[in-house]
Amino acid sequence: MRHVVVTLAVLAASAAHGADVRIVPLGDSITQGNDTYNSWRRQFWFKVAGSNPESYTFDVDMVGSQDVQFGGGPPPDDDFDKDNEGHWGWSILDVIESDNLPVWLGGYTPDVALVHLGTNGSDTGETKRDQMGTLVSQLRADNPNVIVFIAIPGSDWGSVGELGQLLPQFGVDTTTAQSPVFIVDMLTGWIYHPDDPDTDTQDWVHPNLQGEEKIATWWYDALRQEALFIVNVRAEPSGASVTVDGMASAGMRTVTGLLNRPIVLEAPAAQEVGGAAYAFDSWSDGGARVREYLPTGDVTLTATYVLVDSVLTVTASPAAGGTVTPSGSGAYSVGAVVSVSAAPASGYLFLCWSGDLDSLDADETVTMDTSLAITAVFGLPADDADADGISNEDELARGLHPGDADSDGDGMADGWEDANLLDPGDPADATLDPDLDAASNVEEFVRGTDPHVYDEPPVSAGEGGLSCVAGGASPPSIILAVLLAAALRRVRG
């Protein structure tokens, strides 16, 4: 067997089912900013929006209960996602008391929290640490899987410095596999003296443009290293597809992933590419063909396919209407005979097989002389799947084809035949002429005339142009046809 390789360059985990990663910037004035400086949020936004080494735009949504700066106005540069939970002058205690944070979280549920707090408040470092523990608990009460990043503030004096010394161990004690806590050092390399020519602050505390860039970079680098990843998906040969988080893609696809969100990977059991049939062989890491994959860093996964004789694809329509066996795609040798079956869900009827199999039998067999794609069609009893004027239930009861408006293939719609006392299951009535007007039933159908009412013969062309049949007594056959048509109309109604 010839092997073909399908490569998935997974540079990280994907966001579940393509959902945006919701990030809340949670802090004080350093996070909120005012009408004279943007805060680090603007530079951070540009990094996740594409100004990064990968030039990749992450599927990220900044969240918070407000989108304004201190004072209620916009930032100096109004060109980024401004939602935030920065509160000027607030301490950790201010955030957690009176259920402030739980109330805010009622309007959104973050996947990631970037916490920059601790510079305000007169509590001791140990008290601030304990308050931080309450804050983490409140975040987890809203989302048990939240990923929390906590900054060591850029100050080493007083209780702020004490808190910074306690936070590394706090992270160790607080982190869990389900909701990890990461401590980000924003003190080392931070120059807070405003008179220093290389200062990162305007006034000892609030960052200048250089300081905003530093904080944004520290946040971004920590996220990229620990939690925020990229998944590049590429299939070979060209035209082959692999499904990631429910979306099938041929060629390159890139999605955003998060540490504790699984990527749902599905390599089709078989597929056709360029007219040739291929079957799944293995993943490079030995994983199952369909699975949830939790990466811990950058990785390349390879799905290997082998060339086979033919592919059978079996689907249900609608998906809720019933089940099919086998389901999906499978590889078979040429000439193999495969049994297929369809079972309707409660309230539905099996109507027919469509595609490369036309049958009213729910249990069938197909011979794999080539690749085939078939669909089991289900429908509600009172519906009319083929729009021929006869319900699904009635068509099945009468042996008609609920998926074909012309069950007997005689050129006349089932519903029209029914309405005109013809047999939708008998093709022989197409050529009959019950009203003896020289127009067969199928011709009457095409013209839209009544097959039981005599119609004048079509006009013919002569030297003087178009002419009609001369007046006078009607032939006995015409009289008989008219009388018969009148009798039929009385019978009908």
Distance (Å, whole) CA 280 – CA 263? 19
Q: How confident is the model at residue 463 (pLDDT cuts 50, 70, 90)?
A: very low
Predicted confidence at residue 255, as pLDDT, reads 81
User: Distance of CA 465 to CAs 167, 168, 286, Å?
Assistant: 104, 104, 83
| Of 143-157, 418-432, 446-460, minimum mean pLDDT range | 446-460
pTM (predicted TM-score): 0.68
Higher pLDDT, 162 or 444: 162
Sign (positive/negative) of CA torsion 402, 404, 410, 416?
A: positive
- Token output for 63: 């969240």
3-class DSSP assignment, residue 95:
helix
pLDDT tier, 473 (very low <50, low <70, confident <90, very high otherwise): very low
| 3 state DSSP class of 481 | helix
For CA atoms 311, 312, 317, 318, the dihedral sign is: negative
> Does 41 score more than 80 pLDDT?
yes
pLDDT of residue 472: 34
Query: 401 pLDDT exceeds 60?
Result: yes
Q: CATH number of the domain at 16-229, please?
A: 3.40.50.1110
- Enumerate the CATH 3.40.50.1110 domain ranges in the chain, comma separated: 16-229
Query: Could you tell me which of 460, 425, 455 has the C-alpha nearest to residue 440?
Result: 455
Residue 399 backbone phi and psi in degrees, to 5: 75, 20
Please tell me the distance from the alpha carbon of residue 318 to that of residue 428, in angstroms, as a whole number: 34
- Determine the 3-state secondary structure of 429 from DSSP: helix
DSSP SS3 for 211: helix
Residue 113 banded pLDDT, cuts 50, 70, 90? very high
Q: Give the list of residues 6+ apart from residue 91 with CB closer than 8 angstroms, or none.
A: 28, 117, 118, 120, 121, 123, 128, 131
d(CA 89, CA 380): 63
Identify the band that residue 459 occupies on the pLDDT scale cut at 50, 70 and 90.
very low
CB 8 within 8 A of CB 301: yes
What value does the mean pLDDT take over residues 443-455?
A: 91
Region of poorest pLDDT, from 31-45, 388-402, 453-467: 453-467
Q: Reduce the secondary structure of 220-256 to three states and give it as a string.
A: HHHHHHHCEEEEEECCCCCCCEEEECCEEEECCEEEE
Instruction: Write out pLDDT tens, residues 346-395.
Output: 999 999 999 999 999 999 999 998 899 999 999 999 999 999 999 999 99
